[in-house]
Structure 1
């Protein structure tokens, strides 16, 4: 009896290990493909072009990550509203594209180490900058706020601007709505606001160094897969240390730190 008990005690850890599914790291290397969820509507991080290809800071970095694994990238289209359901359904190994770290997302998935700090600021017509400096100036019934559906920008409006008129719009043509006076304010991350300030004549980021809400960006990873997270974090650390991360940024943000 004692021998049987000893054998069982020896075998149980091995059996438990045998039942553990392989890490995403192993799976990706075996299939030679990195499945990447991205919205494709958030310059300068991710943008889906007319021919179906993707470009942007996080697109370049995802390709770099895949190369480090001897794999190619398989893009998995998603939206801000469906990002988490698609991710939890196992459609991708990682999600990229200017994703903000939130506690709500953290409950369901893991994040990589922090990419950058990037808080919420208003993007408005340049002649209206003085009108929309503070939350109290925006949180009024006559102010028309416009946001993409399902992301942290919409969540910010519901939390802090409940009195404003909110309309939801696709994140590609929102900026033209602002320019054409069909909306007054877009709350977004400072990086996007500054990018479109350069890209869209007449639009200005309001106090881009003074966030209305602090934020961080990171990549979304499957919860519980420590091996895969450790690999992504180390790859990211080396990308920053070697300059590959900054090089990807400067392709889109010439003034990147």
Structure 2
């Protein structure tokens, strides 16, 4: 099923590239020197991600990076006729890597925000999420308004450089914040009672419940915010952005989005590969 759909999308993408290549006029030379041409010439599509945000992206026991987003970009690489290269790094290092052209795109559960969009282009959203609370206390995890825990006695963790950290600093500034390098560290702090709660995007909290079913963890099931996930891209290449936009539309139309959502969000078959 995956291979058939990937081939269909590859055909659509190849047709689009051929159509663009046939255009005449002064824009032709500029497009040829753009990111798409360099990716094809290089034979490699370099993607930046954290590799620790399940089920979006995560590192399996054998070292392979897998997940919803990784399947997406692998389909993109197939459509481009090149190999996929995944570069993992800390979340706060992703956009600087894109700025330095160390990666072609960034995809890692990254919320589209006005501040980020000032410096980078974003295509999407390809998923919608929201902030949720992971805790051992049902009282904390069950709040409907985050300001209920805006107290110096509340200890919270969030991923460094994320919108969760920004949310805490803006909405509950009185809480004691611990900014962590990755989600595993943040979840461990909750498990060891070193913080009262983790504030993160909803999928992260749900996966934590699946990983530690007997640890007494609870999480809110009503998102505290709206978080549209987008693909971060260079701001100076409309052709590249247009290609990715059309590719995402093709995925939606072909049924691949539904297939990937079933695979990574409704089935837990992948869990044993990671933990």
TM-score, normalization: structure 2? 0.80
In 1, distance between residues paired with 2:240 and 2:75? 16
Is the 1:116–1:216 Cα contact (8 Å) retained in structure 2?
yes
**TM alignment of 1:28-177, pairs within 5 A:** 28-125=39-136, 127-129=138-140, 132-169=143-180, 170-177=182-189
1:251–1:110 Cα change, 3 Å: same
Q: 1:126 offset after TM fit, Å?
A: 5.3
Structure 1 residue runs of 4+, over 4 Å off? 16-21
User: Paired residues, what number?
Assistant: 241
Aligned counterparts of 1:248 and 1:172: Cα–Cα separation in 2:
24
Residue 225 of structure 2 corresponds to 213
Q: Which runs of 5+ in 1 are unaligned?
A: 1-12
Cross-structure match for 1:225: 237
Instruction: Find the residue that maps to 2:92 and give its secondary structure.
Output: coil
* Alpha-carbon distance in structure 2 between the residues aligned to 1:131 and 1:114: 28
Structure 1 residues 201-221: Cα deviation after superposition (integer angstroms, max 9, x where no partner) = 222221x33x32222001111
For structure 2, list consecutive stretches of 5 or more residues without a partner in the other structure.
1-24, 269-275
Aligned equivalent of 2:198: 186
Contact 2:135 2:141 in 1 (8 A): no
Q: Is the 8 A contact 1:37 1:75 kept in 2?
A: yes
Mark the CA change 1:19 to 1:65 in structure 2 (over 3 Å): closer, same or farther. Answer: closer
| In structure 2, distance between residues paired with 1:18 and 1:127 | 60
Q: Contact between 1:148 and 1:154, CA under 8 Å: does it hold in 2? A: yes
What is aligned with 1:203?
Answer: 217
Counterpart secondary structure, 1:216: strand
In structure 2, distance between residues paired with 1:132 and 1:160: 14
| Structure label with greater radius of gyration | 1
> Cα distance, 1:74 vs. partner?
1.2
How much does 1:63 deviate? 0.7
Please report the TM-score for the alignment, with normalisation by the length of structure 1: 0.85
User: Distance in 2 between the 1:73 and 1:227 partners?
Assistant: 20
CA RMSD of aligned residues (A): 2.2
Superposed displacement of residue 20, structure 1? 6.9
